[in-house]
Structure 1
Amino acid sequence: MKWVSRRYATPRLAGYTCAVLLATILVAAAGASAPAYGQMSDEIRTNPAVDVRVSASTVSVQGPAASVFRGQIASVQLEDGNPAWIQSGIWVMRILQAGDESEPPRVQLVARFVMVMPDGNAMHSHSVYNFDVASSSVDEATSTHTFEGTATVTMRDGPVSGVPLTVTISNNAVMAMQIGPELIDSHFGTGPVYGVLSSASRELIERIDVGALHRNNTSSSEVRAEMVNYYANVSGYLVQPAEAEGKLPAVVVIHENRGLNDFVKGAAENLAKEGYVVLAADLYNGRVTDSQDEARMLSSEVRNNTGVALENLNAAVAYLAALDSVDGSRIASLGWCFGGGYSLQLALNADSPLAATVIYYGTPLVTDQQQLSSITWPVLGVFGSEDPAISVESVNQFKAALDANGTPNEIYVYEGVGHAFANPSNAGHAPEETADAWEKTLNFLGEHV
């Protein structure tokens, strides 16, 4: 399980890890051979204190799905020619392929790293996200890909948006981020923060025409939405990219205890804009409420007839799989609260294997290892440390059971937030944590679906 700080939502490295990284980075800065980087990469990948897991698994690149590149940050910030700060962490970049030659590619970037002085003092963390690309270019002669735009950067006093950012990938091996220096008082110096690509990313970038990503932008903000009958007399909200071609990945979205409302439909539309065909299922058969008492009554009705609910959700999966626009082997489920619980129940009772399961503070949370053993695909879990409905202990048990079963998983607990923190209508809504969790969700889906 990975704890995410409420203030920065960034990784934390143990003292031992920083000592190892300090040694390896300084050696590398002095001209060390490639194995020093490899040893450092292994240390970051396997250390449980790192917030985001760096996977060496291969990445599927089919049709208009995203291409995902990732790696480690390993950099030394110099002042007057001497090492002033050690920078170490991870980065993930998701490039959405599309078709409008007049626009740059859509890029999602999440970078998280610590900075520490060479004597071990003043350790702190930063995140870089919300990358808005204004232009991009490729020098095919040197295999250099450049993306320019602005991003949000977490600083001591909170996130700073609109910070100039240039990301360069050189020779399929090195990533460089030029952050600022405007708006952040040259906090990262005047040179780039450097990183390396993981072995899987190097293989991926060599197998695809990354230059085409700069020439073609197949992702579109335009979506087609309609209500469709997918089970008995029940209708769901189907949303898909307006102009996408070929077979797309898909997601069954499952609403909270208030029904298939505008919040859920908006989330479905956002996923469709990322290149997914999305069916927001309806377990209330058209009923929607703002009353918590009525919401409890409606959710109780469903839980008292779980068999019918599972037939409903399996029908949603089958409906998507039958669409000409969907790759039936790439369907995931995602739900919040009551819907998060049913996202898990669908995984436990699926008529056919899913590609991935996403659970936002799902209740009830099953922790029995034997019950969970039927899930063989990746699971993403998002929780709050102050959730009265789901204890941190039960989240620990959930992750331990998945680990014992060998089920790939990413489990995050956001410190200081409670239940339903991702819903803007909730009094406990946490915008920064919500944005971070959504980035994690998109990266997870981009890798596994």
Structure 2
Amino acid sequence: MRNYVAVIIALVLTGGFAFVAPISNVAMAVPFDFLDKTYVFGPVAGITEDENELTEWVLAGIWRASLPNSTDISNNNTNGTTFNAAIEMIRPDGTARHTHTLTDFTILDISSESGSNSTVFNGTSTISLADGPALDIPTSVKLSNNDLITIWIDPQSVNNHFGDSSNIFGIVASPEFDKSIQESASMTNGTQNSALSH
């Protein structure tokens, strides 16, 4: 079962965005301001398990951020900081698909993990839930080696909706990925109207 889960996560992280670029012009799956060089973005993935360690939910989505760099941190400048995510959840049988958003991320403190190239941004965010937005939810975003992010949403504050650990993983899109989105968007631009008219 663990191998099956690992394969799903690997496929989502490595291949899931291959389908976003061709439809980005049609469905606006990736808004063009995601390509603004002041922001970084990428896919997210994760799973939640039940008490028998069986997969309960599969998580996938996208995140976008403008987080302070080391110079900003040393100058205590977090102005313009943003972190947003859209997280889809679906049962392993393909049912009960729904989406949550993480918005309004406010940094309360920043720390570096000793012995690693990781920065942890602790703060609060707004999480959209079925009953409406949940405000001021304790949230951490950890950036490791400028390539991997880990999003932690306080489980108790959201009734364990994202699982007991509430860790959701993401990768920072590479410049090659950014370039492939731009190239794909320009290739589909000429065919968009004809594809929609049939």
TM superposition score normalised by structure 2: 0.72
Q: Is 1:74 paired with 2:17? A: no
Counterpart pick for 1:135 among 105, 109, 112: 109
Q: Match for residue 329 of structure 1? A: none
The structure with more radius of gyration: 1
State the one-letter code of the partner of 2:145: N
Secondary structure at 2:19's aligned position in 1? helix
Secondary structure at 2:171's aligned position in 1? strand
Secondary structure at 1:183's aligned position in 2? helix
Identity rate of aligned residues, in percent? 23
Q: Match for residue 64 of structure 2? A: 92
Counterpart pick for 2:17 among 37, 41, 48: 41
Residue 201 of structure 1 and its aligned partner are, at CA, apart by 9.3
Counterpart pick for 2:138 among 145, 151, 164: 164
Measure, in 1, the Cα distance between the counterparts of 2:158 and 2:121.
20
Bigger strand fraction: 2
Measure, in 1, the Cα distance between the counterparts of 2:96 and 2:47.
15
Gaps of 5+ in 2: 179-188, 193-198
The structure-2 alpha-carbon separation of the partners of 1:46 and 1:113, relative to structure 1 and needing over 3 Å to count, comes to farther
State the one-letter code of the partner of 1:37: L
1:350-389 equivalences under 5 Å are none
Deviations 1:312-366 (A, max 9, x none): xxxxxxxxxxxxxxxxxxxxxxxxxxxxxxxxxxxxxxxxxxxxxxxxxxxxxxx
Secondary structure at 1:76's aligned position in 2? strand
TM superposition score normalised by structure 1: 0.34
Counterpart pick for 1:148 among 86, 108, 122: 122
Q: Match for residue 194 of structure 1? A: 169
- Deviating beyond 6 angstroms after TM superposition, the runs of 4 or more aligned structure 1 residues are none
Secondary structure at 2:146's aligned position in 1? coil
Residue 141 of structure 1 and its aligned partner are, at CA, apart by 4.1
The structure-2 alpha-carbon separation of the partners of 1:151 and 1:113, relative to structure 1 and needing over 3 Å to count, comes to same
Counterpart pick for 1:103 among 47, 57, 76: 76
Q: How many residues align?
A: 175
State the one-letter code of the partner of 1:129: T
Measure, in 1, the Cα distance between the counterparts of 2:169 and 2:92.
17
Gaps of 5+ in 1: 1-23, 60-66, 204-402, 407-449
